[in-house]
Amino acid sequence: MALLSRKDSKLILDPLTDDNPITIQVLGICSALAITAQLKASIVMAVSVIAVMAIGNVVISLMRNIIPSKIRIIVQLIVVASLVIMVDQVLKAYAYELSKQLSVFIGLIITNCIIMGRFEAFALGNNPWRSLLDGIGNAAGYGLILVIVGFFRELLGSGTLLGYKVLGDPIEKTGLYALGYENNGFMLLSPMALIVIGIIIWVQRTRNKDLIEE
Amino acid sequence: MEHIELFFKSIFIDNMIFATFLGMCSYLAVSKKVATAVGLGAAVIFVLTVTVPLNWLLDQYLLKDGALVWLGPEYADYNLGFLSFILFIATIATMVQLVEIVVEKFSPSLYNSLGIFLPLIAVNCAILGGSLFMQSREIETFGLALNYGFSSGIGWFLAILAIAAIREKIRYSNVPPALRGLGITFIITGLMAIGFMSFGGMLTDGDEAPAAEVETQVGSQNEYIQKDNTEKTDGDAKLSVSDVSTLTK
């Protein structure tokens, strides 16, 4: 027996490819760019966003029939801000150095367009179970792009992944460095994240011709 | 004079879009025509100029460590810093509502052309980012906070104006189909960001404090570059890496 019905599994799988929040819906780009110089930071940010989105979607969905329409943006902001405060405190407690690195970008999850966008588009009109799946799906789609960008930037920029030197040691000149390879320090600078995402969009739209504009 | 230094630093070196990519969603969505871009940019300047000083007051008298001393000496140990997010976002939402009312009254055509994007300024990363950076960089006086808000807004305005102008022109270029629209905009923004990094050389006359702020933000980048530099024992000058590290300072 399948764990999720076909409609429900679409909620999780679609945002990973065809309906990706970053490359298709063009949401949540702000934090996707500045922190992806290291794979570890990307993973932590992705997990934080998944947590905030999943719980937030469920909370808003549970309250959907009692929120007056005029103040719904304020209510959404309060829910997200509270969840982000909790995530921030957890990070400060269990991963202090990483939280110093991510600094203001954890706070900026509040204004992450994906979260508010999904609240408006989905959670306000659907039951909690489907909202949970939608939240997880979209945040996972966001997280996927973050991890891909972080992977390439860290690998090409400093030759490490999650801190482990995978291409050899640049000082001792072992591994790939013995052949004359040098780290592309440019990749560690933020503009390259934009260009990597541009290339991801290019690859995605070449594979799926329906997404091409005009 | 530190006001002038902060002014130029926030517009060119710490540009909201090109250095920290805040406010990208509305930047990408509204930059198809120069006219709407100018309108949105002006609204962002206004909202930033108003909210950053207000949030500075909140931070100074409510949220900082030991800020509640004005209530009485027994409150010196209280730290309400964890409420920053909620209080900042509340001031921002209120101010944006105000801006909406003002724009609707004085310029209905601008109000109509901006549409949904005006209330969306409330959730624009750039606005909250401005306040959060003001807090994390510990800006000292009200005047500096006002300066910072205004100049960050101008930086954002400059960025969206530039990309809107380029996007209008690029309609006549031969962009590959899969890159049209969003893809090429990302790449152009990336190239513009690289260009703006050249301004990094403007203020490197021995200022330790600005270097430290940038480093906490981009700590990860410098970490790897610095490690390579300090572990070097032979005289090989890795020119590309050391040049890059001075650019990011």
**B103-116 confidence digits (pLDDT tens):** 888 888 878 877 77
Tokens for A9, please give them: 């599994």
A161 phi, psi to nearest 5 deg: -135, 120
The residue with greater pLDDT, B56 or A24, is: B56
Quick one: closest CA in B to A78, which residue?
Answer: B86
Provide the chain A residues 32-91 that lie in CB contact (below 8 A) with chain B: 33-34, 37-38, 41, 73-74, 77-78, 81-82, 84-85, 88-89
How many angstroms separate the CA atoms of B69 and A88, rounded? 26
Across the A:B interface, residue pairs with CB atoms under 8 Å apart total: 173
Instruction: Give the whole-number percent of chain A exceeding pLDDT 70.
Output: 95
* Residue B160 pLDDT grade (very low, low, confident, very high; cuts 50, 70, 90): very high
* Residue B220 pLDDT grade (very low, low, confident, very high; cuts 50, 70, 90): very low
- Site from A25, A35, A167, A190 to mutate, B interface, most B CB atoms within 10 angstroms: A190
- Site from A111, A171, A203 to mutate, B interface, most B CB atoms within 10 angstroms: A111
The residue with greater pLDDT, A113 or B45, is: B45
Instruction: Give the whole-number percent of chain B exceeding pLDDT 90.
Output: 14
Closest CA to A135 of A157, A112, A102: A112
Kindly list the residues from chain B whose CB atom is less than 8 angstroms away from the CB atom of residue A191. 18, 189-191, 193-194, 197
* Residue B214 pLDDT grade (very low, low, confident, very high; cuts 50, 70, 90): very low
How many angstroms separate the CA atoms of B169 and B186, rounded? 16
How many angstroms separate the CA atoms of B123 and B137, rounded? 22
Q: Quick check: A111 and B84 CB within 8 A?
A: no
* Residue B82 pLDDT grade (very low, low, confident, very high; cuts 50, 70, 90): confident
Give the SS3 label for residue B124. Answer: coil
Q: Hey, is the C-beta of A132 within 8 angstroms of any chain B C-beta?
A: no
- Say if residues A124 and A105 touch (Cβ distance below 8 Å): no
- Give the 3-state secondary structure percentages of chain A, helix then strand then coil, rounded to 5: 70, 0, 30
User: What pLDDT is attached to residue A182?
Assistant: 80
- Site from A27, A29, A42, A79 to mutate, B interface, most B CB atoms within 10 angstroms: A29
The answer to whether the complex's ipTM is over 0.90 is no
User: What pLDDT is attached to residue B217?
Assistant: 44
